[in-house]
Amino acid sequence: MGNQGGKRPLEGIRVLELGSLIAGPFATRLFADFGAEVIKVESSEGDPLRTWGRISPSGSSWWWHVQSRNKKLIGVDLRQSQGQQIILDLIPKVDVIIENFRPGRLAQWGLSYEVVSEINPEIVYVSVSGFGQTGPYRERPGFGNIAESMGGLRYVTGFPDRPPLRVGVSLGDEVAALYAAIGALLALLQRERSDVRRGDHVDVALTEAVFSLTEGSVTEYIHTGAIQERSGNQLHRTAPTNIYPTREGRWIAIGANSPTTFPRLLRAMNRRDLEGDARYADNLSRVRHAEELDDLIVAWTSERSMGELLNVLTDAEVPAGPVMNVRDIANDEQFRQRDMIVEVPSAQLGSVSMPGVVPKLANHPGSIVHDGQELGHDTNYVLKTLLGFEDARVDQLRAAGVIA
């Protein structure tokens, strides 16, 4: 397994995860990768992610084993008052809460930011929701597909003669998770810098996280009235940048849209006759003639194999790469050598292959100690070691269905 040997930068930080599925748990996974002690709270039914996708021999999805790696898992019924009290007992012992319930749900259970920050003023409380904690849509349920649609991403994804298209992964949730992690780290840094160690309430909306990715589109609309439309694999702002067919039926991505790379592409294509062509003299001209320019590139790439194209383009210093499926990635030497495909110890399965840690830190790297484990794996540790509960009390809570 990669990324071993150094002290991880978030060791000593304890995070309480109150959430399920993707956005909140993905954010806490980033904390866990870099050494934070993450305590994930599940209901007695378990996180629904345990049933999403292909199921491993453990009975949980393979995705679960990735998403919940490095975490301590406790089962607590937050609908019961005794379950709510367990969380309140934990509040003085944690630095960060990351939750992705619908706004108002935790308040109904007596676990709002206002209540929690009274108990522990230093706590950083991160709320991830569809539309944020304020505004007229705050109480609406919101998943990633809604956010990708309302945040403008799906409208511009796909081809102009076809319906809007989703990206093949849960991009809205995962972008929101990145903002949640960044927001928590910002609040922790500010807390450490301040004379008064005060935490903060970080509010992340999935729709806003997606909208933040739409580059200059809203500025262009407000100032020019232009609405960006679907353009397939072309970009309307720069050219040439697209995917092109190879002789064996694969696809190669080529990006030669800068003033220095475009002439190098022409030389690689043996088309120096086009270097003085006014149609391709600058980026704006190339954008206006993007379709005919792509036709020229297609005629060139379709007569050559992927290996030949990569060799020629790499030698010419033109950015290029194959469109890769997951099998290609799993066997790619670049991903392998950078520890992006790692074998992780698993108490249930022996070992599990999964994506490695991002980003790479030279002196204080992240690492993966274990995969996601069974429901309630660490309930006894948390209740007995962290909270000091006696065996009899733990047994009573388990018998009453408060804990798993």
Read off the pLDDT of residues 326-341 as tens digits, 9 standing for 90 and up: 999 999 999 999 999 9
Domains, the chain: 14-213+338-399 (3.40.50.10540), 241-328 (3.30.1540.10)
Mean pLDDT of 63-92: 98
295 carries an active-site annotation? no
**Positive or negative torsion for Cα 53, 59, 62, 67:** positive
pLDDT bracket for residue 1 (50, 70, 90): very low
- Those residues whose C-beta lies under 8 Å from the C-beta of residue 398, and which sit 6 or more positions away, are 404
**Burial group, residue 250, by CB count within 10 angstroms (0-12, 13-18, 19+):** middle
pLDDT tens for 45-62 read: 999 999 999 999 999 999
pTM of this prediction?
0.94
Kind of pairing between the strands at 341-346 and 124-129: unpaired
- Tell whether the model's pLDDT for residue 4 goes beyond 70: no
Token digits of residue 333? 């030497």
pLDDT tens for 93-115 read: 999 999 999 999 999 999 999 99
- CB-CB neighbours of 50 under 10 Å: 24
Selected catalytic residue, list 33, 47, 77, 173: 173
Return mean pLDDT, the chain: 96
**What pLDDT, on a 0 to 100 scale, did the predictor assign at position 2?**
43
User: Residue 348 is which amino acid?
Assistant: Q
Number of H helices, E strands in the chain: 17, 11
- Those residues whose C-beta lies under 8 Å from the C-beta of residue 4, and which sit 6 or more positions away, are 365, 367
Paired with 345 in beta bridges are 351
Mean pLDDT of 301-307: 98
- Tell whether the model's pLDDT for residue 349 goes beyond 50: yes
Bond from prior residue into 25 cis (ω within 30 degrees of 0)? no
Are the C-beta atoms of residues 254 and 313 closer than 8 Å to each other? yes
Residue indicated by tokens 């002789």:
247
